[in-house]
Amino acid sequence: MTNEHFGFIGLGNMGGPMARNVCEKGLSLIVHDIAGTAERAPTGAEIAQSNDEVARRAGVIVLSLPSVEINRAVVQEIAQAGQAGCVVVDTCTIGPEAAAGNSRILEAAGIGYVDAPVSGLRFRAEEGTLTSMAAGTSEAVARARPLIEGYSRVLYHVGQNPGQGQYMKLVNNALCISAYVTTSEALVYGERGGLDMDTMLQVLNDSSGQNFSTSQIFPKYVATGRYDESGADAHIVEKDLGLFVEGTKAMHSANAVITSAYEVIKAFAQDNPTQDQMRIYPFVRDNRDLSVSD
C-alpha cells in the first residue's frame, strides 16, 4: 500500500467509475469535477473545491476530460498551482501533438507527465478492467503505476516520450471504430438476406470475421437494443477518428479505408452529436444514402 496522496480531475462517464475503483483499492484520493463534485465523487474520496486544490495537494493527478480544449486549460491550471515533483497522468484522447505540448508546459513547472490514454467502454471502467497505454519516463510511470493499476486490468509502457501513448490509442481506435462501421454494414446485409443477428454473431465469433464489435459491442449493446449505455457520444468518436485521419494526412500515411469509415462517422455525428456511439448500427441500417451504387 502506498502512502501517496492521489488526485482525480474529471468524474464523468469514464472518470467517475475509474475514481471509484481507485477508492475501492484503498488509495487516498482527492477529486474535483466542474460539473458537480459532490454528486459525482465516489464514496471515500475527499472533495476538492477546485482543480487548483487538487493540484496543490496531490502527488499524482489523473485527468479524465471531454475535449482537447478543456484538457489544455486544466493542464495550464496545474502548471500554475501544482507542486514541483508531482506527476500528471493524462487519460484523455487528445492526439500526439497536444500530449507533447502538455508535457512541455508541465516540465517547465517541474511537473512530470504521463500520456496514458485508456481503452475500454464504460463497462470496462465500471469493472476496473481498462487497458492503459502509458508513455513517459520510466520514473514517472513507476510513480503513477499504483494509481493507474487502480482502474486498469493491464498497463503497457509503450514509450518514453509523451505522445506515443496517443499514437497507440489512435491506432487502437482507428481499428475499433472502423470495424464497428464495417461490421454494421456487413450485418445489415446479412439481415436483409434473412439471417438472424444472434446467429450471425455466433458464427462470426467462431470464424475469421471476429472482432471487438462482434464479440463485445453487438452482443452487449446492439442485439439487446441497449443503444444508449456505452458512455461515448458521437462527437467523441468523431474527434478520436478525426485525430487519426489528420495524423495520417500529415505523415502521408495510407488512410483510404479508415477515411471512408470516418466519413460515415462524421455524418453520424452531424445527425446528432450527443447520441451514443452504439447508434451507429441503426444509422447505417436506416441511411440508404450510405449505399454506393454503380
Provide, for the chain, the percentages of residues in helix, strand and coil under a 3-state DSSP scheme, each rounded to the nearest 5: 55, 15, 30
Rg (CA), the chain: 20
- In the annotation, is 249 catalytic? no
Cell representation of residue 186: 456487413
- Residue 163 has what DSSP assignment? T
Q: Which of 25, 169, 220, 266 is catalytic?
A: 169
Name 56's Cβ contacts closer than 8 Å, sequence gap at least 6: 81, 82, 83
Name 107's Cβ contacts closer than 8 Å, sequence gap at least 6: 113
The backbone torsions φ and ψ at residue 42, rounded to the nearest 5 degrees and listed phi first, read -75, 155
Q: Which amino acid is at 223?
A: A
Q: Give yes or no for a contact between 116 and 89, defined as CB atoms under 8 angstroms apart.
A: yes
Cell representation of residue 35: 460539473
Cell representation of residue 93: 484522447
Cell representation of residue 21: 475503483
Q: Which amino acid is at 101?
A: G
Three-point CA angle 30, 167, 271, nearest 5°: 85
Strands (E), the chain: 5-9, 28-32, 46-47, 60-63, 87-90, 112-115, 118-119, 130-135, 152-159
- Residue 100 has what DSSP assignment? H
Length in residues, the chain: 294
So which residues are the catalytic ones? 169
